[in-house]
Structure formats: structure tokens, C-alpha cells
């Protein structure tokens, strides 16, 4: 059977060389937009400190496991001890912790001199495997199999090559079919003197281990470069792909240097009915931002010190989870005698969550990153404000209800602008009685038609 090389939506190689708010967001967290709401989404966790890198690649492959393979350009020779099999649950926890979130507030009785907390609102607004059997002549193709390992359920080979066409032919002769145009991109990595980490599923070993789903592959190494090669993953892709990158480091926020990194709109008040439609809202909002930026930017969804969160979509990762995901500078003292994970705080770990929708037309280059040293907190956060439902009568209550109509109309307009949805349908769902607010002074109405 001939096998197709699947790049898991991206060909991985990760290598590298507003101040904190004076008050919290508060409110109640009610929903999150995790990666599961997007199709064709890949997840990569990148741990970085100085030149030391640990990359974790989540495998969302669906299909015949005999047809699975992943090719990873790497900057240096990888020993067997540098490869590990990770736990998808930790990536899911990291996803939940950093996911954009929906929070809600409840208006208080205006007759008790409730004041709208503008300072809080404004603080949240942004500006802006092969195993070589020597069945053919490797030397003629310029390919060297430097090592082969079996780690967990994967057979892994470390390859070097002299030119892309030879490597492509070698892979094809080994039973794998690369997409057209791969040799040119392979050449660019070969010119950088990079090697190739190739993994395929060992069905026999997977059966012994009893795992139904493929577990993440982890690789640790040292290099001064900091980038993710995504070009090979676009060759045979059917349309655009979603990529989520979670970067854990000590310095602070990470951004791309060869593409703009843009903060997603955040802190907006939106209609309360979105509580039941948050996933649809977030997808539509992200679609609008991608279109606005002409699908040429990387979006920041979260940047935070992992010692805390506000509001929390999930608890910060425990010290043991951080160690398991590759954060090698934190201590592993969170496991007690019963091997239960204690919720110990993370020390000196900053997380950046980046989200990019890409294809070969709009992202012709690999992603290149840099650490900024900026430790300002940022999160994708959207606000529901529930109206006061009381019956008290006072002048403040009358003013409140007049202002409420304007507020709800503004929420409808914000939602329409963020998503592109029909504003009249939004108003109908909100049951807004007066869709257009008349703000004219009395004398402005005398001579107007």
C-alpha cells in the first residue's frame, strides 16, 4: 500500500535562538471559544528559554493510521532521548486556560445609586518514518538515514539530504507520496543545513500500548533560531488551515517578525442572547477580522502570567503539567505520595496564544518569532450586561431605562460590526422596541422633515 505523507496541517520545526491592570476584570466567566469550534485546527506548544526549545505537536489525524506520517524540519541531529510522547489532556487544559471567554455582569438597582463602572470597561478595551531497508541506493539520491528509533507508538527516522528532489524521490520509493512542489521547499530547508524528523505510526506498538488516539510528539533541542515552517503544510491543503500556537517562556509576550501580530478586538459589550451562541459569535467575529486584515496577519488571543487569571476560563496549569509539557525551569514538587496533582502555582511562566488562518497564497513564508519582553496582560474577552429587572420607581430608574435602550442598540451595532450579521435580525432577537435612537435636541427637530 502506498502511503501519503500528511503534514498535519503544518510541518513543524520550532527553534530559536497596557502595563498590568491596577484592578481585575471581575465578573463571571460563562463560556469559552476553544479550538474545537474550528475545523482543520492544529495545535503546537512551544516552550522556549534562551536557545533551549521543547516543541509539542498535537496530532488530530483522522483516517487509516497506515497512511499517517509527519515530517518535521529540525535544526540539529535529534537523539532518541530528545523525543518524548506527551499527553493530549495537558494541551486541552492549556487551550481551555487561554481560550477567548465570555463574562457577564448584572446591573444593580439604579435607585440605590448604582454607578456604571466605566473605569473597568475602559481598562479592558484595546487600542485598535521511515525505517530504511536499503531497498534502493540512498547515496545516489543524496539521502542519509542518521538514526531510527521507536518511541511509544511511533517509528522515527532522522534524515539528512543533499537536495530536495532526491529526498522527495527517496520518500516516494519508501512508499510515501509527497505533494507536488515539495522538493523546492525541501531544498530551502536543506540549504539551511537542517535535518528531517520523520515519524509514522507503528501499528503493532500502538496495539500493545492500547491507545486509540495518537498522542502528541515532543522534541527537545537547542538552536538560536525561533520559527515554525508552515509552507510544506500548505502544498496539498484543501483550503485554508487554522493554527494555534501556545508559547511558554519567561520573558513575556511573543510575536511574529515577518507578519504583523494583531490583537483581536476585546472588551466589547454584546447582546445577552449570545450566551447561548458564543461559539457561532466567535467564529463569525474571527472570520471578519481575517477578511479585514486580508488574511495576512497573526492574531493574539491571550497573553498572561500563568500565576493567575481573571476571569478564569480554567485553572492555571499545575507545576507537574508544566514540567510534562516541557517547561524545564520549574520544579517538579507538585506530586504527593498518592501521585495526585496539586494545584501549585506556576512560577515565572508567561503564556502567549497566537491564532493564524493561513494558506500558501497569503503566507508564503514560514513563521518567524521573537520574544518582546512585554508582560502586559491581554485576553479575548466579551461582556454580557444583564439589565436590572426590578420595579422600584425613582428618577434614577427612569434615567436608567432611557439609557438602557441606547445601550442595547449600541450592543446590537457592535455585534453587527464584529460579525457581519444582519442588524435587524439581531434587534429582533434582542427584542429592542426602538431600533433607532433619537438623540436630537428639541430645537433641532423644529424644521427637520
Label each residue of the chain as H, E or C: CCEECCCCCCCCCCEECCCCCCCCCCCEEEEECCHHHCCCEEEEEEEEECCEEEEEECCCCCCCHHHCEEEEEECCCCCHHHEEECCHHHHHHHHHHHCCEEEEEECCCHHHCCCCCHHHHHHHCCCCCCCCCCCCCHHHHCEEEEEEEEECCEEEEEEEECCHHHHHHHHHHCCEECCCCHHHHHHHHHHCCCEEEEEEECHHHHHHHCCCCCCCEEEEEEEEEEEECCHHHHHCCCCCEEEEEEEEECCCCEEECCCEEEECCCCCECCHHHHHCHHHHHHHHHHHHHHHCCCCEEEEEEEEECCCCCCCCCCCCCHHHHHHHCCCCCCCCCECCCCCECCCCCCCCEEEEEEEEECCCCCCCCEEEEECCCCCCEECEEEEEECCCCCCCCHHHHHHHHHHHHHHHHHHHHHHHHHCCCHHHHHHHHCCCCCCCCCCCHHHHCCCC
Distance CA 369, CA 252 (A): 13
- Separation of CA 180 from chain center: 29
Q: Given this model, what pLDDT does residue 13 score?
A: 37
CA–CA distance from 79 to each of 34, 149, 210, 298 (Å)?
A: 34, 9, 26, 33
Residue 230 burial by CB count (10 A; 0-12/13-18/19+): exposed, middle or buried? buried
Q: Give 346's contacts (C-beta < 8 A, 6+ positions apart).
A: 306, 307, 316, 317, 318, 319, 322, 327, 330
CA–CA distance from 287 to each of 99, 238, 421 (Å)?
A: 17, 18, 12
Distance CA 23, CA 38 (A): 33
Which residue is associated with the grid cell 466579551? 382
Distance CA 341, CA 321 (A): 8
Q: Given this model, what pLDDT does residue 336 score?
A: 47
Grid coordinates belonging to 22: 491596577
- Separation of CA 75 from chain center: 24
Instruction: Provide the residue-wise pLDDT of the chain in tens; the chain has 449 residues.
Output: 444 444 443 444 333 333 333 334 555 788 999 998 988 789 999 999 999 999 999 877 767 777 777 888 888 899 999 999 999 999 999 999 999 999 999 888 888 754 444 434 444 444 443 444 444 567 678 899 999 999 998 999 999 999 888 888 887 777 666 777 788 889 999 999 899 888 888 888 887 777 767 899 999 999 998 988 888 777 767 788 899 999 999 999 999 999 999 999 999 999 999 999 999 999 999 999 999 999 999 999 999 999 888 888 999 999 999 999 999 999 855 444 444 444 555 478 999 999 999 998 999 999 999 999 999 999 999 999 999 888 888 888 888 888 898 899 999 999 999 999 999 999 999 987 544 445 566 677 777 65
Instruction: Count Cβ atoms below 10 Å from residue 345 Cβ, excluding itself.
Output: 13
Q: C-alpha angle 351/122/435, rounded to 5°?
A: 115
Distance CA 21, CA 263 (A): 17
Global pTM? Answer: 0.80
Instruction: Count Cβ atoms below 10 Å from residue 386 Cβ, excluding itself.
Output: 11
| Pairing of β 350-358 and β 367-371 | unpaired
Amino acid at each position: 500500500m502506498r502511503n501519503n505523507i500528511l503534514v498535519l496541517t503544518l510541518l513543524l520545526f520550532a527553534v530559536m535562538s497596557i502595563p498590568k491592570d491596577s484592578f481585575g476584570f471581575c465578573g463571571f466567566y460563562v463560556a469559552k471559544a476553544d479550538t474545537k469550534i474550528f475545523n482543520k485546527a492544529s495545535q503546537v506548544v512551544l516552550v522556549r528559554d534562551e536557545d533551549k526549545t521543547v516543541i509539542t505537536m498535537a496530532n488530530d489525524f483522522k483516517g487509516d493510521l497506515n497512511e499517517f506520517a509527519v515530517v518535521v524540519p529540525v535544526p540539529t541531529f535529534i537523539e532518541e532521548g530528545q523525543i518524548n510522547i506527551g499527553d493530549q489532556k495537558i494541551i486541552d487544559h492549556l487551550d481551555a486556560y487561554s481560550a477567548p471567554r465570555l463574562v457577564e455582569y448584572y446591573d444593580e438597582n439604579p435607585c440605590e445609586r448604582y454607578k456604571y463602572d466605566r473605569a473597568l470597561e475602559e481598562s479592558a478595551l484595546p487600542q485598535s518514518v521511515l525505517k530504511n531497508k536499503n531497498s534502493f541506493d540512498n547515496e545516489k539520491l543524496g539521502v542519509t538515514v542518521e538514526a531510527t528509533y521507536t518511541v511509544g507508538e511511533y517509528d522515527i527516522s532522522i534524515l539528512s539530504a543533499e537536495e530536495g528532489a532526491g529526498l522527495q524521490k527517496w520518500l516516494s520509493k519508501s512508499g510515501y507520496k509527497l505533494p507536488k512542489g515539495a522538493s523546492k521547499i525541501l531544498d530551502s530547508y536543506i540549504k539551511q543545513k537542517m535535518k528531517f524528523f520523520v515519524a509514522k505510526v507503528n501499528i503493532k506498538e500502538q496495539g500493545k500500548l492500547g491507545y486509540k488516539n495518537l498522542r502528541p510528539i515532543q522534541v527537545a533541542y537547542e538552536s538560536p533560531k525561533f520559527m515554525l515552517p508552515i509552507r510544506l503544510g500548505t502544498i496539498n491543503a484543501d483550503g485554508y488551515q487554522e493554527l494555534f500556537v501556545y508559547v511558554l517562556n519567561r520573558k513575556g509576550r511573543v510575536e511574529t517578525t515577518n507578519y504583523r501580530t494583531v490583537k483581536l478586538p476585546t472588551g466589547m459589550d454584546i447582546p445577552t442572547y449570545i450566551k447561548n451562541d458564543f461559539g457561532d459569535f466567535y467564529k463569525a467575529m474571527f472570520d471578519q477580522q481575517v477578511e479585514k486584515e486580508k488574511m495576512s496577519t497573526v492574531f493574539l488571543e491571550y497573553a498572561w502570567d500563568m500565576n493567575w487569571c481573571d476571569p478564569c476560563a480554567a485553572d492555571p496549569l499545575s507545576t507537574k503539567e508544566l514540567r510534562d509539557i516541557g517547561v524545564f525551569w520549574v520544579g517538579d514538587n507538585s506530586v504527593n505520595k498518592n501521585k495526585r496533582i496539586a494545584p501549585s502555582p506556576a512560577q515565572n511562566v508567561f503564556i502567549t496564544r497566537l491564532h493564524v488562518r493561513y494558506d500558501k497564497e497569503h503566507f508564503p513564508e514560514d513563521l518567524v518569532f521573537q520574544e518582546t519582553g512585554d508582560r502586559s496582560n491581554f485576553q479575548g474577552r466579551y461582556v454580557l450586561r444583564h439589565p436590572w429587572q426590578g420595579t422600584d420607581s425613582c428618577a434614577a430608574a427612569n434615567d436608567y431605562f432611557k439609557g438602557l435602550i441606547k445601550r442595547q442598540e449600541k450592543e446590537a451595532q457592535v455585534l453587527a460590526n464584529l460579525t457581519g450579521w444582519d442588524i435587524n435580525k439581531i434587534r429582533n432577537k434582542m427584542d429592542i422596541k426602538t431600533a433607532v435612537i433619537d438623540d436630537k435636541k428639541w430645537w433641532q427637530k423644529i424644521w427637520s422633515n
